[in-house]
Chains A and B, each alone.
Chain A
């Protein structure tokens, strides 16, 4: 029987409440959202947080909305929502490509984009997706909000720039006209972690010239998940 080590549990009512709880309970407090990465690690005693701050009630972080030239995705948005969103599929096919092969439908009902990014598993798919799309992470802490590029966000395996008293609130993806993207994953079993995976995005000028191209790789190294490259205008 796999049971986590003892911990204390608190449920946050708002993002500010979550930040206050993190500040109060110190560096061994952790945010729990879908729990499908953290709880398995806690069951194996690979993670032993002293406090869990449950943010599943924070509906303010569960949204997908178009805001000018950005698509804003709340950190608590579940994988199922990302997969089923026709707006996301139209703008960023890479998201549906990746979501379709993340775990299984039941797990996707719980897992969140914010949890996936903050877990920062080297074999995690959405980190590559966000990197390839040039996404920005909005992180909030006691002193306010800050915006991080994905390069700034990733610090390595299981490590991000989100501080112990900060919460990842949303991901913003720039919307580019005349663009395309895709994700392909090699896995040993359906729904398993990637043996390796690759994502790519292109955007074109009106005359068909490629203006931006980026490629990202998943599960090919421990020093962060991806090596996205943006090449200047190959033809």
Chain B
């Protein structure tokens, strides 16, 4: 059957079997491999994408069911070469270790902040509770989302120059080096890596 959907703002049309799962369509047909494929049983949440802005586990959605809808994958988070504040937060607060859960975590965080720009830590934890980090890096993931909530416009020049004031209050003492590291991190990932260039019909 023929399906058409908007993926990261680009319309895509493909011929697929009805039984193709959305995660495989995204990875194998669109070649957007930022969406990871994990447990296959809607438990781990690494395959989370946004379907019309809502986080869903793409291993348990048919590609056919997304026909006519809008999908956002991790490749669609950055805009115009600028990382989403959530992505910046994961860099600033060391929100990833192996990185396998990271795309799903970041998309859920984005969806949370879209409807609740100032979540408390309990709300952040609840939002990501359907996703598993087997590095067990939950504390830094929560801090990363908090960073994004505190920096809705992302890294500003003042942040880059003077460090992150909110990070200095962090009693855990795992702050980034004010100034140097933050300024460097803001430019660490080339924008080209995050562009959804391969989304073509």
**In the assembled complex, which residues on chain B have CB atoms less than 8 Å from the CB atom of A7?**
18-19
B55: interface (CB < 8 Å): yes
A52 with B60: in contact, given A40-B41, A105-B130 (CB under 8 Å)?
A: no
> B residues 1-44 with Cβ under 8 Å of A?
1, 17-19, 21, 24, 40-42
Whether the Cβ atoms of A107 and B18 lie closer than 8 Å is no
A105 with B65: in contact, given A35-B60, A52-B18, A110-B60 (CB under 8 Å)?
A: no
Option from A39, A42, A106 in Cβ contact (under 8 Å) with B130? A106
Cα separation A22 to B41 with both chains bound (whole Å)? 27
Whether the Cβ atoms of A9 and B60 lie closer than 8 Å is no
A143: interface (CB < 8 Å): no
Smallest CB–CB gap between A235 and chain B, Å?
40
**In the assembled complex, which residues on chain A have CB atoms less than 8 Å from the CB atom of B54?**
109
Option from A4, A32, A52, A106 in Cβ contact (under 8 Å) with B57? A106
Cα separation A39 to B24 with both chains bound (whole Å)? 14
**In the assembled complex, which residues on chain B have CB atoms less than 8 Å from the CB atom of A11?**
64, 67
Q: By CB atoms of chain B within 10 A, which of A4, A42, A190 has the most?
A: A4
Whether the Cβ atoms of A35 and B17 lie closer than 8 Å is no
- Per-position binary interface string of chain A over residues 56-82, scored 1 when its CB falls under 8 Å from any chain B CB and 0 otherwise: 100000000000000000000000000
Cα separation A56 to B56 with both chains bound (whole Å)? 14
Whether the Cβ atoms of B65 and A8 lie closer than 8 Å is no
Whether the Cβ atoms of A35 and B61 lie closer than 8 Å is yes
A186: interface (CB < 8 Å): no
Q: How large is the interface on B (under 10, 10 to 19, 20 to 34, 35 or more residues)?
A: 20 to 34
A146: interface (CB < 8 Å): no
**In the assembled complex, which residues on chain B have CB atoms less than 8 Å from the CB atom of A2?**
40-41
**In the assembled complex, which residues on chain B have CB atoms less than 8 Å from the CB atom of A54?**
64-65
Whether the Cβ atoms of B129 and A9 lie closer than 8 Å is no
Whether the Cβ atoms of B17 and A36 lie closer than 8 Å is no
A9 with B62: in contact, given A2-B40, A106-B55 (CB under 8 Å)?
A: yes
Smallest CB–CB gap between B20 and chain A, Å?
8
**In the assembled complex, which residues on chain A have CB atoms less than 8 Å from the CB atom of B48?**
106
Whether the Cβ atoms of B61 and A9 lie closer than 8 Å is no
Smallest CB–CB gap between A54 and chain B, Å?
6
A36 with B19: in contact, given A56-B65, A105-B129 (CB under 8 Å)?
A: no
A36 with B60: in contact, given A52-B18, A106-B55 (CB under 8 Å)?
A: yes
Whether the Cβ atoms of A8 and B57 lie closer than 8 Å is no
A163: interface (CB < 8 Å): no
Q: By CB atoms of chain B within 10 A, which of A8, A39, A52 has the most?
A: A39
A234: interface (CB < 8 Å): no
**In the assembled complex, which residues on chain A have CB atoms less than 8 Å from the CB atom of B56?**
106, 109-110
Which single residue of chain B is at the shortest CB-CB distance from A2? Answer: B40
- Per-position binary interface string of chain A over residues 1-28, scored 1 when its CB falls under 8 Å from any chain B CB and 0 otherwise: 1111111110100000000000000000
Name B residues whose Cβ lies closer than 8 Å to a Cβ of A. Answer: 1, 17-19, 21, 24, 40-42, 45, 48, 54-57, 60-62, 64-65, 67, 108, 126-127, 129-131
- Can you list the 7 inter-chain pairs with the closest CB atoms, starting with the nearest? A104-B130, A9-B18, A106-B130, A4-B19, A2-B40, A9-B64, A106-B55
